[in-house]
């Protein structure tokens, strides 16, 4: 998307693009997408909360007391999907993502994807060139 196209979008259009893009990615790779999503975008922060979407295998594991295995698998998946998630956010906002954190819980089932955008006063410019390649493993939380 052309940056000038992004600047003419309403805030609601940006939020819709974020939510729709995240749901589409999860649906493509899990075979089903979340049943509900809500996105927030303010200043240098984007948060996307997604509900539902556990696969039948995951639901079976959860019911069998294997919840930690499901969460571990989801965290590994989100690590691999980092670039695709960031592309959704960058296309919607027109700003580069410099931080990504992800979390999951089982009851109620929710996923939360958090993105920090540049420019931000949270990070010195020198830090951006120093550690971007390793930033996911350093900032991922469960």
pLDDT per residue over 69-122, tens digit each?
Answer: 998 998 898 889 999 999 999 999 999 999 999 988 888 889 999 999 999 988
Indicate the CATH number for domain 3-139: 3.30.980
Domains of the chain, residue spans:
3-139
In degrees, to the nearest 5, what angle opens at C-alpha 20 toward C-alphas 121 and 37? 80
Given this model, what pLDDT does residue 52 score? 87
Side by side, the strands of the sheet bearing 97-105 are 36-42, 45-51, 110-117, 97-105
Cα–Cα nearest to 59, from 107, 131, 119: 107
DSSP 119: S
Q: What is the pTM of this model?
A: 0.82
- How would residue 135 be classed by pLDDT, with cut points 50, 70 and 90? very low
Cα–Cα nearest to 72, from 58, 51, 91, 52: 58
Given this model, what pLDDT does residue 5 score? 63
Work out the average pLDDT over 16-34: 91
Helix (H) / strand (E) element for 78: namely helix 67-80
Given this model, what pLDDT does residue 133 score? 42
Q: Are 112 and 103 in contact (CB under 8 A)?
A: yes
């Amino acid at each position: 998307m052309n940056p000038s196209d992004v600047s003419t979008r309403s805030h609601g259009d940006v939020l819709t693009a974020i939510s729709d893009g995240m749901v589409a990615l999860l649906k493509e790779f899990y075979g089903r997408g979340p049943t509900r999503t809500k996105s927030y975008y303010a200043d240098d922060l984007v948060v996307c909360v997604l509900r539902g979407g556990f696969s039948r295998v995951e639901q079976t594991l959860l019911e069998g007391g294997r919840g930690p295995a499901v969460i571990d698998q989801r965290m590994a998946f989100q690590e691999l999907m980092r670039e695709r998630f960031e592309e959704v956010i960058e296309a919607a906002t027109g700003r580069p993502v410099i931080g990504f954190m992800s979390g999951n819980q089982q009851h109620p089932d929710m996923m939360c994807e958090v993105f920090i955008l540049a420019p931000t006063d949270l990070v010195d410019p020198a830090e951006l060139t120093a550690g971007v390649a390793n930033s996911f493993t350093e900032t991922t939380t469960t």
